[in-house]
Amino acid sequence: MRVYQERFGVLNGQTVTAYTLVNDHGMEVTSLDYGCIISRIIVPDQKGTKENVILGFDTVDDYVNHSPYFGAVIGRVAGRISGAEFELDNQVYQLDQNDGKNHLHGGKIGFDKIIWKTEVVEKADSVALVFTYLSKDGEEGYPGNVNMKVTYTLTNDNEFQLAYEGVSDQRTLLNVTNHTYFNLSGDLKREILDHVLTVNSNQFAELDSELIPTGELLAVEGTPFDFTAGRKIKDGVESQHPQNVLAGKGYDHPFVLGENQHEQIVLKDETSGRTLIVETDQPAVVLYTGNQLEGDFEIRGVKARKYLGLCLETQGMPDAIHQPNFPSVILNKGETYQAKTKWRFTV
């Protein structure tokens, strides 16, 4: 196990550093202190060929100018908040409107656009990066000074662990996720349409025209949202189901996860033989299939286009503050927010 670091670039006069974690099997994960961005994951295919299996850039400027949250930590609150406001303890908090009239992924300067303090922790069977940041009271409109800690750990079992902790001095909202786009074909050789996804979920959240949950949970049975026995992503892309069409021909939906944390989510690319297994203690996963991934830029030499990657954002339910039937994302003063997710790669 080892870790090495290098200068990645400069942002507003501050150096951005890239840290690469390497295990004894040659799996590599590169992360930036800017946004806790996971910029590259190198794993072998069934023939032993090692390739990158996520979307990212090689320069700070590309992340600033083009990134749709590639690989970043999202906070304070992942997803959309309707009307960019919420009420807590009889006080209304106004948030930044950075998605139409709504608030998205923590605002204009969320956790994804901060340079975090970083500590390297090396052990015999793992290497880790511990990122810390103080999100001050009023930042992006949220109450409370929140001390955040994000820990990324790579093990010799080809497992990458993501752990989040947060403590606030006021009652506030906190719902953190990671926004990595996966493509198991390797170095973006193919789109993710033929990836097979299995999700232990019997319900998904219905979305309105602004992609915000209506509060209704719909049964997946008999729909393109049923991933319980495995399903290709293109089933939803080609579907005429109103919710698939609404999301831009694909998925951008929260799925309610079963409580059993054993292989809740499995993503496979049959051509490369690569498999990603996701386990989490969070109540939901937002499946986003890159339906809006377009623009006049390249992703490591590949023209940006729809369906080049998909996100598996393990988190609390989006807009939970406005949906009393969703699990709460309120963090009480002095309590510790904790969330954990594991990614395990196999062939």
Tens of pLDDT, residue by residue over 226-239, are 999 999 999 999 99
Give pLDDT, residue 259: 78
- Does residue 35 contact residue 136 with C-beta atoms inside 8 Å? no
Please list, in sequence order, all residues whose beta carbon lies within 8 angstroms of the beta carbon of residue 286, skipping any fewer than 6 positions away. 78, 79, 177, 252, 253, 254, 255, 311, 312, 313, 315, 318
Give pLDDT, residue 260: 76
Interatomic CA distance for residues 116 and 346, integer angstroms: 31
Q: Where are the domains of the chain?
A: 2-346
Tell me, which fold does domain 2-346 have in CATH?
A: Beta-galactosidase; Chain A, domain 5 (2.70.98)
Give pLDDT, residue 5: 97
Give pLDDT, residue 258: 87
Give pLDDT, residue 63: 98
Residues designated as active site: 179, 313
**Token pair for 96:** 């930044």
Q: Which amino acid is at 345?
A: F
Shortest CA distance to 321 belongs to which of 334, 331, 336? 331
Residue 92, burial from CB neighbour count under 10 angstroms (0-12, 13-18, 19+): exposed
pLDDT in tens, 16-51: 999 999 999 989 999 999 999 999 999 999 999 999
Low-confidence residues of the chain, pLDDT below 50? none
Interatomic CA distance for residues 242 and 157, integer angstroms: 41
Give pLDDT, residue 128: 98
Give pLDDT, residue 316: 98
